[in-house]
């Protein structure tokens, strides 16, 4: 039986070595070779038994560089599927946006990934392999240099819908024998799978971002359909529970700015009432268009006014810079290559219940 060592976190790799009759310290050695040193040639693992030197599966089929320094990797995950990983350099950090599924089943109205439908969950190796590949490509695999300082599970797919594999990958990111990232610098983004948010808080509390995008159930039911199962009252309660275990003392609410849909002064005031019991910050995201979308981006002035209302109420509010849109790497644009198993109708137009007041 051939195994892919990227599929193991520290605990499971130790157990696997025990099954092979090997000492537990072998697990730490292998983790360091793979994740700290970025070794692709397993024959180079001179202190590891040859039988354990398995070849990595992930293959980069495209590597695009934006004018603003953003870099997008298209990674082959087999059977006609490819997922996208994006590196975003900043002056004070380097953030890698990682995918957890080939496609997405949640079908948020404004997201290009969701319009492709859903094929399957990614394995642990395919999730952590994106970090391994990016480290290798960026030349950050030796010494103390840390080009990638932050990781966000915010690419293709809903991380909490692939819970076990996402958490195993998260534990590798946090493991000092692998990547040694701080819990404060690793973020999971979710559209609001309430029971699984609780599991994440119990098993692997990292920073949490919630894709909110609407201030009331009527609108959110349409643009974020999972809201029909887990409405805003339940979601806010889950956010409060998560804060008891989170490494940061706030939840980040992501809010995409859709012209005439969710961007009025009245919507901003509704948001203030909605989150009044949740310690939070807002990240306003200018909408990034894609073919067939019925939406338009809110004007810069409208975004500024919306942010001003939130900030006047004492809520930290930032507006995300649009990065990598020239290579379709901006938020909501990741599409990859997905063989849809859901037979979703492409380009479906969502009837919208509200217009700007």
- Rounded Cα distance, 184 and 170, in Å: 12
- The C-alpha angle with vertex 186 and arms to 183 and 188, in degrees rounded to 5, equals 115
The answer to whether 159 and 206 have CB atoms below 8 angstroms apart is: no
Decide: pTM greater than 0.75: yes
Q: Distance between CA 151 and CA 172 in Å, rounded?
A: 12
Instruction: Give CA–CA dist 196/165, Å, rounded.
Output: 13
Yes or no: say if 89 and 148 are a contact pair by the CB < 8 Å rule: no
Query: Distance of CA 8 to CAs 68, 104, 349, Å?
Result: 35, 24, 41
Compute the distance between CA of residue 192 and CA of residue 274 in angstroms, rounded to an integer. Answer: 15
| Domains of the chain as residue ranges with CATH | 1-56 (1.10.150.530), 57-327 (3.20.20.70)
Crossing angle of helices 194-203 and 232-243, rounded to 10°: 10
Using alpha carbons, select from 160, 237, 162, 161 the residue that is nearest to residue 206. 160
Query: How far is 300 from 27, CA to CA, in rounded Å?
Result: 51
pLDDT tens profile 236-295:
999 999 999 999 999 999 999 999 999 999 999 999 999 999 999 999 999 988 888 889
For the chain, the three-class secondary structure string (H helix, E strand, C coil) is CCCCHHHCCHHHHHHHHHHCCCCCHHHHHHHHHHHHCCCCCHHHCCCCCHHHCCCCCCEEEEEEECCCCCEEEEEECCCCCEEEEEEEECCCCEEEEECCEEECCCCCCCCHHHHCCEEEECCHHHHHHHHHHHHHHCCCCCCCCCCCCEEEECCCCCHHHHHHHHHHHHHHHHCCCCCCCCHHHEEEEECCCHHHHHHHHHHCCCEEEEECCCCCHHHHHHHCHHHHCCCHHHHHHHHHHHHCCCCCCCEEEEEEEECCCCCCHHHHHHHHHHCCCCCEEEEEEECCCCCCCCCCECCHHHHHHHHHHHHHCCCEEEECCCCCHHHCCCCCCCCCECCCCCCCCCCCCCCCCCCCC
pLDDT digit string (tens) for the chain, length 357 residues: 345 667 777 888 788 777 766 677 777 877 787 777 766 565 677 666 555 444 333 444 456 666 777 888 888 887 778 888 999 988 888 999 999 999 888 989 888 876 778 889 999 989 998 998 888 888 765 455 678 999 999 999 999 999 999 999 999 999 998 999 999 999 999 999 999 999 999 999 999 999 999 999 999 999 999 999 999 999 999 999 999 999 999 999 999 999 999 999 999 999 999 999 999 999 999 998 888 888 999 999 999 999 999 999 999 999 987 644 554 544 444 455 666 666 554 433 333 443 322
| pLDDT tens sequence across 194-209 | 999 999 999 999 999 9
Burial class (CB in 10 A: 0-12, 13-18, 19+), 9: buried
Q: Which residues are catalytic?
A: 84, 331
């Amino acid at each position: 039986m051939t195994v892919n060592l990227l599929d193991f976190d520290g605990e499971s790799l130790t157990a696997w070595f025990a099954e092979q009759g090997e000492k537990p310290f072998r697990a730490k050695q292998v983790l360091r070779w793979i994740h700290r040193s970025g070794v692709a040639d397993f024959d180079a693992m001179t202190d590891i038994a040859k039988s354990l030197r398995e070849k990595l599966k992930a293959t980069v089929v495209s590597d695009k560089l934006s004018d603003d320094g953003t870099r997008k990797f298209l990674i082959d995950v087999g059977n006609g599927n490819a997922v996208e990983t994006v590196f975003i350099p900043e002056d004070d950090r380097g953030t890698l946006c990682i995918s957890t599924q080939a496609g997405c089943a949640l079908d948020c109205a404004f997201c290009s990934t969701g319009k492709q439908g859903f094929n399957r969950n990614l394995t642990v190796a395919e999730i952590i392999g994106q970090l391994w590949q990016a480290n290798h490509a960026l030349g950050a695999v030796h010494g103390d240099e840390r080009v990638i300082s932050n990781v966000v599970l915010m690419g293709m797919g809903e991380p909490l819908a692939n819970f076990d594999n996402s958490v195993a990958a998260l534990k590798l990111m946090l493991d000092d024998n692998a990547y040694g990232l701080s819990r404060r610098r690793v973020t999971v983004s979710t559209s609001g799978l309430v029971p699984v948010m609780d599991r994440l808080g119990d098993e692997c509390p990292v920073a949490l971002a919630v894709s909110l995008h609407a201030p009331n159930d009527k609108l959110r039911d349409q643009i974020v359909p999972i809201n029909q199962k887990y409405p805003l009252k339940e979601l806010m309660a889950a956010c409060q529970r998560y804060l008891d275990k989170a490494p940061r003392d706030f939840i980040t609410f992501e809010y995409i700015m859709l012209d005439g849909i969710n961007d009025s002064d009245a919507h901003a005031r509704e948001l203030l009432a909605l989150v009044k019991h949740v310690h939070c910050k807002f990240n306003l995201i200018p909408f990034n268009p894609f073919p067939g979308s019925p939406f338009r981006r809110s004007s810069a002035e409208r975004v500024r006014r919306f942010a001003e209302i939130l900030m006047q109420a004492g809520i930290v509010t930032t507006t995300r810079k649009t990065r990598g849109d020239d290579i379709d790497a901006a938020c909501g644009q990741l599409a990859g290559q997905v063989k849809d198993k859901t037979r979703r109708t492409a380009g479906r137009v969502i009837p919208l219940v509200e217009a700007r007041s």
